[in-house]
A and B are shown apart, each in its own frame.
Chain A
Amino acid sequence: MSDESVISLRGVRAELGSRPVLRGIDLTVRRGQVVALLGANGSGKSTAVRTIIGQVPVTAGEIELFGTPRRRFRDWARVGYVPQRTTAAGGVPATVTEVVSSGRLSRARFGVLRRADHEAVRRALGEVGMADRAKDSVNALSGGQHQRVLIARALAAEPELLIMDEPMAGVDLASQEVLAETLRGQVAAGATVLLVLHELGPLEPLIDRAVVLRDGCVLHDGPPPEAVGQHALPGHDHVHPHAPAGAEPARTGLLS
């Protein structure tokens, strides 16, 4: 683990519709670290991640990626992003390979995929255990498999930094273990990881540091908090209503 900072936020403030969501966040992620961003719904953890990748404008403060101010950062192939989604599907059928291939575009010049690019896509599918579903439509996948496809899409560019927004939301136990295994491989290979989590779950042994947000401020930055009470029980599972009003109703765990 070196001292080189991969992500650096200093005094970052952000608003969503004139409501302050981040009120001066400081956060540094160094090379090789695995940092979990925790907090209740509305604490600003997703917004924090979205400011880093430039999806939410910053009203004050500075963000650097690999030592470059984010505004001037262009080397996006070094960043693998897994957005918070329950589905990888769009309005038209697409195969698992087609979706994962779009993650490779950051390394492909003029959108032309060469043999090495197709190899990288196949490797990424193998890493999340979806190689046998490569030619299937993403519409035919379970919630956990959707998430694995989204992670493979981020891995296809062979990034140095992985940013994941709630990768475990709506994921069945079998897929959670595959995801933990995938992440372990990435960390062993030297990847830096920042992930938004609702709870540490099966990823707990991998996490070096936990940053807890509350009301847009950093409440805790240090070793991951110990789970207590019922939350510490193995197999304990949360079911939270994450979806904003008007979104698709949540599916029961029975089907996914």
Chain B
Amino acid sequence: MDILNYAFMQRALLAAVLVGITAPAIGIYLVQRRQALMGDGIGHVAMTGVGLGFLLSWSPVWMATLVSVLGAVLMELIRWYGKTRGDIALAMLFYGGMAGGVMFINLAPGGSNANLTSYLFGSLSTVSESDVTAICLLAAFVVLVTVGLRRQLFAVSQDEEFARVTGLPVRALNLLTAVTAAVTVTVAMRVVGLLLVSALMVVPVAAAQQLTRSFAATFAIAVALGVGVTLGGTVTSYYQDVPPGATIVLLTIGAFIVLSLLATPLARRRARALAAAQPAGDPAECTIPATRGAADEVGV
């Protein structure tokens, strides 16, 4: 295991594990509230932060955190007060963020789009000592929120209207979700890159869902998968000299495909067990199959 003898690889592996934990941990709530692509949107906005970091000679990680948190809060506000159509406003935010990033980095002395590439697609081997500190602090925040407030976040993401009537501070929790997602994007930026961040937030959750019936199990399996693929991808990229971000994302999608194939017989067995448990001759109690055919739907 000569891989652990290099300080840069130690930092890379630590960053990779933290991303593997945090991305699915917040991603599961985004998937639950059917905002799976929010991470992608925040990633675009974060580019402006990276560009500003270069222009002002500040840490691009902290600047990206600041800008993507502001962007995420803005997205939440657009969702509340949606005067313009939400998706149009969001589109402007996404592409404005990307254009801002390209503009600022080219305005920076000696800056070019080449500087941006390591943030767009990740550059694990150049993770510095101070990057690791920032990533550790941000990851601790994400874990604290996603685990500590799991019941509240579950309730709000499952049914926002009902959550409000239970007296939960729904707006504050929505803002917290948005901020946490933004923080996660910047944690993952150096590992998988801004353009691939969303994959690590969404795909492990989608893969875990193939096997699970409960939220708790989905959470646990998604995080375990996240750690597995980020570690596997980092080690593979070290030995095979392939880009870590792309390797991690392809491994995640591979895991999704394998679990989907494994899940088919499992689902069939569960359906049989359920059918056996139901009293016979009671048509009112039959269950809706997980996949309904087109003939089951009636237009209105």
Interface residues of A (CB under 8 A from B): 53-55, 74-77, 79, 81, 83, 85, 88, 90-95, 98-99, 101-103, 105-106, 108, 111-113, 132, 135-137, 139-145, 153, 157, 172-175, 241, 243, 249-252, 255-256
Contact = CB atoms under 8 A, between A and B. Distances in A.
Top 7 A-B pairs ranked by shortest CB distance? A76-B167, A102-B155, A174-B284, A241-B300, A137-B213, A106-B166, A81-B165
A132 B277 CA distance: 10
Given A91-B32, A136-B213, A53 B158 contact: no
B7 interface: no
Contact of A94 (B158, B277, B282, B288): B158
Contacts of B167: 74-77, 106
A77 to B, nearest CB: 7
Interface in B103-156: 149-152, 154-155
A55 B167 CA distance: 12
Q: How would you classify the secondary structure of chain A's contact residues: helix, strand, loop or mixed?
A: loop
Contacts of B157: 90-91
Contact of B282 (A101, A153, A174): A174
B288 A142 contact: yes
Nearest to B213: A137
A141 B288 contact: yes
Nearest to A255: B288
B166 A173 contact: no
Interface of B: 28, 31-34, 36, 149-152, 154-155, 157-159, 161-168, 205, 209, 212-216, 218, 274, 277, 282, 284-288, 290, 292, 296-300
Contacts of A98: 154, 214-216
A105 B213 contact: no
Contact of A174 (B155, B166, B168, B285): B285
Contacts of A142: 284-288
A102 B284 CA distance: 27
A95 B216 CA distance: 9
Contacts of B218: 92-93
A88 B215 CA distance: 13
Nearest to B149: A111
B298 A251 contact: yes
Contacts of A132: 277
Given A241-B300, A251-B298, A255-B296, A90 B165 contact: no
Contact of B214 (A75, A94, A241, A250): A94
Contact of A153 (B33, B151, B162, B285): B162
Contact of A249 (B31, B161, B164, B300): B300
Given A91-B32, A249-B299, 14 more contacts: A54-B165, A77-B167, A91-B31, A92-B215, A101-B151, A102-B154, A102-B162, A105-B151, A105-B155, A137-B214, A140-B290, A174-B282, A174-B285, A251-B297
A215 B53 CA distance: 57
24 contacts: A54-B165, A81-B162, A90-B159, A92-B32, A93-B214, A98-B215, A98-B216, A103-B162, A105-B155, A105-B166, A111-B152, A136-B213, A139-B290, A140-B213, A141-B287, A141-B288, A142-B284, A142-B286, A142-B288, A144-B284, A174-B282, A243-B300, A250-B298, A252-B296
